[in-house]
Structure 1
Amino acid sequence: MKFYDRVKELAELKRIQRLSFEDHSRLTVLTGRRRIGKTSLVMKSVEGLPTVYLFVSRKSEAVLCTDFISVIARELDTYVPSEIRTFASLFRYLMELAARQPFNLVIDEFQEFYNINESVYSDMQNIWDQHRLKSRMNLVVSGSIYSLMHKIFESNKEPLFGRADNIIKLSAFEIPTLKEIMHDYRPKYTNDDLLALYTFTGGVPKYIELFCDNNALTVDEMIDFMVRENSSFIDEGKNLLIEEFGKNYATYFSILSSISGGVNTQPEIEAALGDKSVGGQIKRLIDDYDIIVRQRPILAKEGTQAVRYEILDNLLRFWFNYFDRNRSLIEIKNFAALRDIIKSDYPTYSGRMLERFFKQQMAESNLYRNIGSWWEARGAQNEIDIVALKLEKNQAVVVEVKRQRKNFKPEAFAVKVEHLKQKVLPKYMIEQRCLSLEDM
């Protein structure tokens, strides 16, 4: 698949690179979940320029340095002493070299030094502080274990705290990019196909690339491609999260499985887990791992009891809902049965994802100052899918989302909107809408 989007991120990386080469060394931190395209973005930004790319794999420090020495010697056409056995010595050598010639240094999976030699971070801090103002290195470090990268650079107890000149968190593709990709690879796509791509990938480039490269871009083709023997999607959720959570992953997985199935309040989650207290784990899933988000009714106060939890990542939400929940079918290789379950559920499941799609589309339009849903703490009869407050004072758009417009009941919706207006938006001019597949 060709390189798409990332215009703003590329421009920022180029700007920092220019400053590094013309003035003095800069450090950029690039974070984001696995498969989001961090390496592709960085390598695109350094095309045609002297660049050393180092991938930190789980080897002994001495073996890793031997590998790195050959890469540095080749890419910069320079002599590197073969007796170097520590990364600190190698990094000092590179910083001294950067005083004579500018170049890019990209260190991928930077958090892995925790498993190799944690003192690397304090060593790098000392060397960086000594040499950055008299050298011209564009140092870009990236990592995909969010909790560790956050700790390394944003915890004031860590040696590299405050050393990053810029921290870029790479997000999934926006909706216009998904439409561009579908137009390029399946010009006659339907809106349901577009919704399926959004539902199954959330705009994560690697998953989109897999579908495009395998010509699987209709709803049924995507499901068939994901649900088959040896599919990379089968263990994807586990592979993404097990390093984040470590040996205590079982409780986190149970929480995420509950949320994916619609058990989304703390009392409900704790009841589903046998009355186990999970407040601490929920807080970590929000603050440390950036995997779930706390949702309140729009304009609700901070302390409101009407709190729901939602998985941010579309692929993880789908994986827990179908692959994790139906592990027994996968174990006996009954992929046909799992495909039938997903295809049967798809209209209902994708209907919920259509609401998320429209919320994202509205956010990307930059026409609103707040977008959310509204419900009452007790009873869902007055629940409203989307409430969007416009930039203009006291103007709002209130939306009911239906896959098929024919299922929309305007009179019943008007009653709910009037209730919302009395409760929350008494001074607002409210525009009522129904959004369906045909509005994508």
Structure 2
Amino acid sequence: MMKKFYNRQKELKALQTVSEQIAESKGQLSVMVGRRRVGKTRLLNEAFHRGKTQFLYLFISRKSENSLVTEFTEVINNELGVKFFQPQSLRDIIEFLLDYTKQKPLTVIIDEFQDIDIVSPALFSDIQNLWDTNKRESMMHLVCCGSLYSMMTKIFKGKDEPLFNRDDQFFKIQPLQPSYLAEVMKDHNQFDAESMLQWWCLSGGIPKYLEWLTRFSAENNTLFESVISEFSPLIKEGTHRLVEDFGSEHRVYFDILGAISKGNTSRARIENFLDMSVGVHMEKLDEVFDVITKKRPISSKENSRDIRYSISDPFLNFWFRFIHANKSAVEMENYEYIRRYIERDFAVYSGLELESLFTAILIESKQFGKIGGYWDAKGHNEIDIVAINDLDKKILIAEVKRQQKRYSEAKLIEKSHNLLKKLNLKGYQIEYRGFSLDNLVEVMEEYQA
């Protein structure tokens, strides 16, 4: 099991410093956003459980306000040793805590903060009024934590929202980058190029999934025997992670993500595949749920309509491609069938995902100002990775293959003519590279930030 805590040192330090200085600074509001399973709760635990300041953890589950009031009252009574506290509403609880912190410093974490909108939408205005009135005297570090990026951003950055600009710190927690994924694997004696690609496809650097993979790797099975079995938490994970957010329309969203995972990357192809119009749903998957990414050729303008879609998270891509696509087999608990299906298609599938791994390695290197791909107006002359460094006047143009022997520099140079004409970057040094499983480990070492 993954007991060691990887990365996140900057966030840890920043959060701890705010709490340690809260007696002098008075009221401070931190916002923390990151997709489910990315390790927000673990980070908060690491930051505060050993600290000098007491902390209180309140989780907004989607139930009635009365149930939450009862639950939070019990937490407050147990943690703060408060007797005879009988609030009637969530507003009373916030008011009480702001009063309490006029005498004693306290860190208050409200997790899944965006779900207040479901439980008691008026509470946002109440929090704003109480915060503005009390923050100068209260020694409270309020941490509002949420998994829906767009909603959390709207709550704190939307001009018409009650809590507009009330945050003092805004943290966006990302999955672990490739170097940390490699560190986890080395700590469990699992690291080599092929395994690195498998772990990337199955985790995308999300700590919870890495924890599962380290557990599986301790078993004597092959990785897919453990991942695809009746005891594996991965089987139901896509459903657990998305159904609640997607709500009543989750089937349509699942169909769209299933279509994308099978390689239908343009809106026209998705609509063709599903035989329905998907514009509104695509918009929401991108802007509200942060589950898909829009890609345009690196040479095109921001408003270009030449868009390709991909699922942002490698794990979800894998889940839709292999597990959701075989829901009948899952229902019959025919895991042997799914494993054979993976065996047949994984080499081709992971070859495409290798591109996202190399892109992540280049992003982590911090050497480039812009990274993307390229294809021409007809969708031809496709180039996997184009990375531009305007400061040092360098361009990296790379082709990604599973095997290095399938890379041809002459073909890549030929395919790049049009792109270079469009980019018109005179005096730039151009480097052509073939990236593959054969040189993955060397490339990771070369681009270590």
- Secondary structure of 2:57's aligned partner: strand
Q: What does residue 374 of structure 2 align with?
A: 374
Aligned pair 1:100/2:103, yes or no? yes
Q: What does residue 115 of structure 1 align with?
A: 118
Deviations 1:23-45 (A, max 9, x none): 11111111111111111101111
Q: CA deviation at 1:426?
A: 5.9
Q: Distance in 2 between matches of 1:119 and 1:303?
A: 37
Q: What does residue 76 of structure 1 align with?
A: 80
- Secondary structure of 2:205's aligned partner: coil
Map 1:312-331 → 2, pairs under 5 A: 312-331=312-331
Contact 1:197 1:217 in 2 (8 A): no
Q: CA deviation at 1:423?
A: 4.4
- Secondary structure of 2:318's aligned partner: helix
Q: CA deviation at 1:236?
A: 1.5
Q: Distance in 2 between matches of 1:224 and 1:247?
A: 33
Aligned pair 1:340/2:316, yes or no? no
Deviations 1:141-170 (A, max 9, x none): 212244443443333333222222222121
Question: More deviation in 421-430 or 44-53?
Answer: 421-430
Q: Distance in 2 between matches of 1:267 and 1:60?
A: 42
Contact 1:193 1:217 in 2 (8 A): no
- Secondary structure of 2:135's aligned partner: helix
Q: Distance in 2 between matches of 1:103 and 1:426?
A: 54
Aligned pair 1:54/2:96, yes or no? no
Q: Distance in 2 between matches of 1:234 and 1:150?
A: 31
Aligned pair 1:38/2:40, yes or no? yes
Q: CA deviation at 1:237?
A: 1.5
Q: CA deviation at 1:386?
A: 0.8
Aligned pair 1:143/2:142, yes or no? no
Q: What does residue 253 of structure 1 align with?
A: 254
Contact 1:51 1:76 in 2 (8 A): no
- Secondary structure of 1:235's aligned partner: helix
Contact 2:409 2:433 in 1 (8 A): no
Contact 1:146 1:244 in 2 (8 A): no
Counterpart of 1:318 in structure 2: which amino acid?
F
Q: Distance in 1 between matches of 2:111 and 2:357?
A: 32
Contact 1:298 1:371 in 2 (8 A): yes
Seen in structure 2, the aligned counterparts of structure 1 residues 149 and 377 have a Cα distance that, compared at 3 Å, is: same
Deviations 1:379-406 (A, max 9, x none): 42x1111111124454211111111112
Q: CA deviation at 1:100?
A: 0.8
- Secondary structure of 1:162's aligned partner: coil
Aligned pair 1:309/2:309, yes or no? yes
Q: Distance in 1 between matches of 2:354 and 2:125?
A: 47
Q: CA deviation at 1:217?
A: 8.9
- Secondary structure of 1:114's aligned partner: helix
Seen in structure 2, the aligned counterparts of structure 1 residues 40 and 58 have a Cα distance that, compared at 3 Å, is: same
Question: More deviation in 119-128 or 97-106?
Answer: 119-128
Seen in structure 2, the aligned counterparts of structure 1 residues 396 and 61 have a Cα distance that, compared at 3 Å, is: same
Q: What does residue 86 of structure 1 align with?
A: 89
- Of 200, 203, 208 in structure 2, the residue corresponding to residue 201 of structure 1 is 203
- Paired-residue identity, %: 37
Aligned pair 1:282/2:298, yes or no? no
Counterpart of 2:432 in structure 1: which amino acid?
Q
Q: What does residue 404 of structure 2 align with?
A: 405
Contact 2:148 2:288 in 1 (8 A): no
| Structure 2 unmatched ranges of 5 or more | 441-449
Q: Distance in 1 between matches of 2:63 and 2:415?
A: 60
Seen in structure 2, the aligned counterparts of structure 1 residues 379 and 90 have a Cα distance that, compared at 3 Å, is: closer
Deviations 1:73-101 (A, max 9, x none): 33234x24332221111211110111111
Q: Distance in 1 between matches of 2:148 and 2:79?
A: 28
Q: What does residue 24 of structure 1 align with?
A: 26
Question: More deviation in 355-364 or 113-122?
Answer: 113-122
Contact 1:62 1:86 in 2 (8 A): yes
Q: Distance in 2 between matches of 1:74 and 1:426?
A: 64
Please give the TM-score of this superposition, normalised by the length of structure 2. 0.91
- Of 13, 16, 22 in structure 1, the residue corresponding to residue 15 of structure 2 is 13
Q: What does residue 213 of structure 1 align with?
A: 215
Counterpart of 2:331 in structure 1: which amino acid?
E
Counterpart of 1:263 in structure 2: which amino acid?
N
Q: Distance in 2 between matches of 1:98 and 1:234?
A: 44
Seen in structure 2, the aligned counterparts of structure 1 residues 392 and 120 have a Cα distance that, compared at 3 Å, is: closer
Q: Distance in 2 between matches of 1:243 and 1:63?
A: 19
Q: Distance in 2 between matches of 1:61 and 1:372?
A: 46
Q: What does residue 269 of structure 2 align with?
A: 268
